[in-house]
C-alpha cells in the first residue's frame, strides 16, 4: 500500500493534528542563503546571484514570521494544549550569514508563536568564515545553546575540491571562540572520502577536531549527488568516484580515533562525549518524533502526516502572503511506511531497535543479521556491531525484505 500524496489543501493541517502529541516536538528553520555553492551540495540553497532581486534575507524573514504565526494558529486547534518546543534547529544554507542579530530575530519569531520547554536545545549551523567572537556572544545572549560548524576537512586541497571557502584552520578557531563565549555543546562536521584525500589528510583533520575540544563530531562519507557540480566532474572523468573500500577504512579510522578520545558513537555518523552532548533535535527525527519545518523547502512531520514547502524563496514568500501554510504537497503515511521508517532510522542508533517492533519476517531477518555478525541481541534490543555500522544500509534492507 502506498501513501496518500496530494497537493497541499486546507484539510492537510487537520490530518496532521489528529494523532499529534505525546512525544517530543521540535521546530526546524531553513535558511536558504549561501555565499557560494559547494560542488557536492544538493540542498535547497541559493546564492545572491541566483536569486537576483526576487528574494532577500529580509523578505525571507518576513515570510518566516508569517508561516510560524499561521502554523501556531493551526496548532491551537488541538483539543489539548500545544506541546512545548523541546528543540529548535536552524539549518541551511548558511544561517550564520544572517549575523548574530538576524539569528536572534529568528529565535524571537519562534518564541512569539510557540512556548519553549525549560532547557530546550537551540542549535544553529554556521560556516566558520561568517563567525566571530562577537557573533557567538550574541547567539549565547539570544538563547542559543548549541553550535554546529561545517569543517569538512583540515586539508586545503580537499576543501578546494569540495568548493569550501573557509581556510583550513578557521573551523577549529571558530569552535574555540564558541566555547569561550559559553557554548558547552559544539559540533564539528567532517566529510571523508573526497577524491584526493589521503590517510594523512584525514589524520590531520582528526587532530584538528580533537584539538578544538568539542563535545560532538559528525562524520559523513562523501556522496556524489546527481545534478551537482561534483557529479559532473566525476562523470567527465576529472575526479574519481569515492571508493567503497576506502570509505569503510576511513570510517573505522575516524571511529577508532574519536572513541579513544572519549567521543562514542550514538548514531552511525555521530559521536558525542556524553549523553548531554547528543543532538536532541536529530534524535527526534531518528526516534520518529514530531516536528514543524519552516522556510523554503522545509519538511514537516506531525501526527503521521508529512508535508513539504515550496522550494524557491520568492514563491515561498508569495504563498505565505496569500495566506495559509506554504506547503507544496503532503502525504499521509501508511502503517507500512511508518514501520519502514521506524526500522530504517532506529537501527542506526546505539540504543538499538526493539525486537518487539519487528513483525514476524523482521524478527526472522534479525536472526540472520545476528548470525552474520552485523548485529547483536542485547535483551530485547537489536544493536549494530562495529562491522554492522559499516553495512547499516544492508542491514536495513535485510530487515525489510
The stretch 95-99 carries a mean pLDDT of 96
180 and 276 in one domain? yes
Q: Is residue 18 part of a domain?
A: no
Q: Is residue 43 part of a domain?
A: yes
pLDDT at res. 223 = 86
| Range 299-304 contact pairs with CB under 8 angstroms and sequence separation of 24 or more | 299/28, 300/16, 302/16, 302/17, 302/20, 303/15, 303/16, 303/17, 303/18, 303/19, 303/20, 303/21, 304/16, 304/19, 304/332, 304/333, 304/338
pLDDT at res. 2 = 40
Q: Last residue of a domain, which of 221, 253, 287?
A: 287
Q: Last residue of a domain, which of 287, 305, 326?
A: 287
Contacts with 52 (C-beta within 8 Å, 6 or more apart), sequence order: none
Domain around 346: 334-400
The sign one gets for the Cα dihedral 20, 21, 23, 26 is positive
pLDDT at res. 180 = 98
252 and 170 in one domain? yes
249 and 133 in one domain? yes
Yes or no: say if 302 and 18 are a contact pair by the CB < 8 Å rule.
no
63 and 159 in one domain? yes
The stretch 377-398 carries a mean pLDDT of 97
Yes or no: say if 293 and 28 are a contact pair by the CB < 8 Å rule.
yes
The stretch 132-153 carries a mean pLDDT of 97
User: pLDDT grade, residue 82 (50/70/90)?
Assistant: confident
What strands, in cross-sheet order, belong to the sheet with 353-354?
Answer: 353-354, 381-384, 375-378
pLDDT at res. 20 = 66
393 and 261 in one domain? no
216 and 116 in one domain? yes
Q: Which of 128-137, 139-148, 317-326, 382-391 has the lowest mean pLDDT?
A: 317-326
The sign one gets for the Cα dihedral 284, 288, 294, 298 is positive
The stretch 234-251 carries a mean pLDDT of 91
Structural domain tally of the chain? 2
pLDDT at 165 over 90: no
203 and 347 in one domain? no
363 and 274 in one domain? no
250 and 338 in one domain? no
The stretch 142-165 carries a mean pLDDT of 93
Alpha-carbon gap, residue 153 to 164, rounded angstroms: 9
Q: Is residue 320 part of a domain?
A: no
Residue 223: all three cell numbers together: 556522496
Q: Is residue 209 part of a domain?
A: yes
Of these ranges, 23-27, 35-39, 151-155, 232-236, the one predicted with the greatest mean pLDDT is 151-155
pLDDT at 3 over 80: no
User: How much is the mean pLDDT over the chain?
Assistant: 91
Q: Residues 319-341: pLDDT tens digits?
A: 999 987 899 998 888 899 999 99
pLDDT at res. 10 = 44
CB count in 10 Å sphere of residue 210? 18
345 and 267 in one domain? no
Taking the model in full, what pTM does it have?
Answer: 0.93
pLDDT at 196 over 60: yes
Alpha-carbon gap, residue 60 to 83, rounded angstroms: 26
Coil, helix or strand for 325?
coil
Domain with residue 247: its CATH number is 3.20.20.70
Q: Is residue 98 part of a domain?
A: yes
Segments in 183-332 forming alpha helices (H): 199-211, 229-235, 244-260, 280-286, 313-322
The stretch 292-317 carries a mean pLDDT of 93
247 and 100 in one domain? yes
Q: Is residue 390 part of a domain?
A: yes
Yes or no: say if 363 and 392 are a contact pair by the CB < 8 Å rule.
no
pLDDT at res. 227 = 83
Q: E-assigned strands of 273-334?
A: 290-294, 299-302, 305-309, 327-332
pLDDT at res. 300 = 94
**Number of residues assigned to the chain:** 401
Q: Is residue 10 part of a domain?
A: no
280 and 141 in one domain? yes
Q: Last residue of a domain, which of 222, 254, 287?
A: 287
CA-closest candidate to residue 75, choices 106, 124, 110, 127: 110
User: pLDDT grade, residue 12 (50/70/90)?
Assistant: low
Q: Is residue 360 part of a domain?
A: yes
Amino acid at each position: 500500500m502506498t501513501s496518500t500524496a496530494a497537493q497541499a489543501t486546507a484539510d492537510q493541517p487537520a490530518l496532521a493534528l489528529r494523532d499529534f502529541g505525546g512525544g517530543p516536538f521540535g521546530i526546524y528553520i531553513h535558511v536558504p542563503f549561501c555565499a557560494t555553492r559547494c560542488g557536492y551540495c544538493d540542498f535547497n540553497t541559493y546564492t545572491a546571484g541566483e536569486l537576483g532581486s526576487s528574494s532577500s534575507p529580509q523578505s525571507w524573514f518576513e515570510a518566516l514570521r508569517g508561516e510560524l504565526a499561521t502554523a501556531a494558529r493551526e496548532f491551537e486547534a488541538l483539543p489539548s494544549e500545544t506541546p512545548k518546543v523541546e528543540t529548535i534547529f536552524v539549518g541551511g544554507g548558511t544561517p550564520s550569514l544572517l549575523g548574530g542579530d538576524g539569528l536572534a530575530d529568528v529565535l524571537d519569531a519562534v518564541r512569539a508563536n510557540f512556548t519553549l520547554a525549560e532547557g530546550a536545545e537551540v542549535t544553529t549551523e554556521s560556516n566558520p568564515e561568517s563567525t566571530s567572537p562577537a557573533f557567538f556572544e550574541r547567539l549565547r545572549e539570544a538563547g542559543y545553546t548549541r553550535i554546529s560548524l561545517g569543517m569538512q576537512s583540515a586539508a586545503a586541497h580537499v576543501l578546494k575540491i569540495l568548493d569550501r571557502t573557509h581556510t583550513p584552520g578557521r573551523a577549529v578557531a571558530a569552535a574555540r571562540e564558541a566555547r569561550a563565549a559559553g557554548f558547552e555543546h559544539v559540533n564539528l562536521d567532517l566529510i571523508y572520502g573526497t577524491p584526493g584525500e589521503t590517510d594523512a589528510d584525514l589524520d590531520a583533520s582528526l587532530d584538528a577536531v580533537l584539538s578544538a575540544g568539542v563535545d560532538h563530531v559528525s562524520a559523513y562519507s562523501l556522496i556524489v549527488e546527481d545534478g551537482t557540480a561534483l557529479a559532473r566532474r566525476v562523470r567527465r572523468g576529472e575526479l574519481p568516484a569515492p571508493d567503497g573500500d576506502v570509505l569503510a577504512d576511513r570510517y573505522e579510522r575516524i571511529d577508532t580515533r574519536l572513541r579513544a578520545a572519549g567521543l562514542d558513537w550514538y548514531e552511525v555518523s555521530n559521536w558525542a562525549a556524553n549523553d548531554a552532548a547528543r543532538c536532541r533535535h536529530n534524535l527526534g527525527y531518528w526516534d520518529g518524533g514530531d516536528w514543524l519545518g519552516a522556510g523554503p523547502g522545509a519538511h514537516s512531520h506531525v501526527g503521521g502526516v508529512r508535508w513539504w514547502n515550496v522550494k524557491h524563496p520568492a514563491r515561498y514568500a508569495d504563498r505565505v502572503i496569500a495566506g495559509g501554510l506554504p506547503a507544496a504537497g503532503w502525504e499521509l503515511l501508511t502503517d507500512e511506511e511508518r514501520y519502514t521508517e521506524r526500522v530504517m532510522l532506529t537501527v542506526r542508533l546505539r540504543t538499538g531497535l526493539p525486537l518487539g517492533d519487528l513483525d514476524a519476517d523482521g524478527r526472522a531477518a534479525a536472526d540472520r543479521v545476528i548470525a552474520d555478525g552485523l548485529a547483536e541481541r542485547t535483551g530485547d534490543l537489536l544493536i549494530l556491531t562495529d562491522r554492522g555500522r559499516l553495512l547499516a544500509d544492508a542491514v536495513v534492507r535485510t530487515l525489510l525484505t
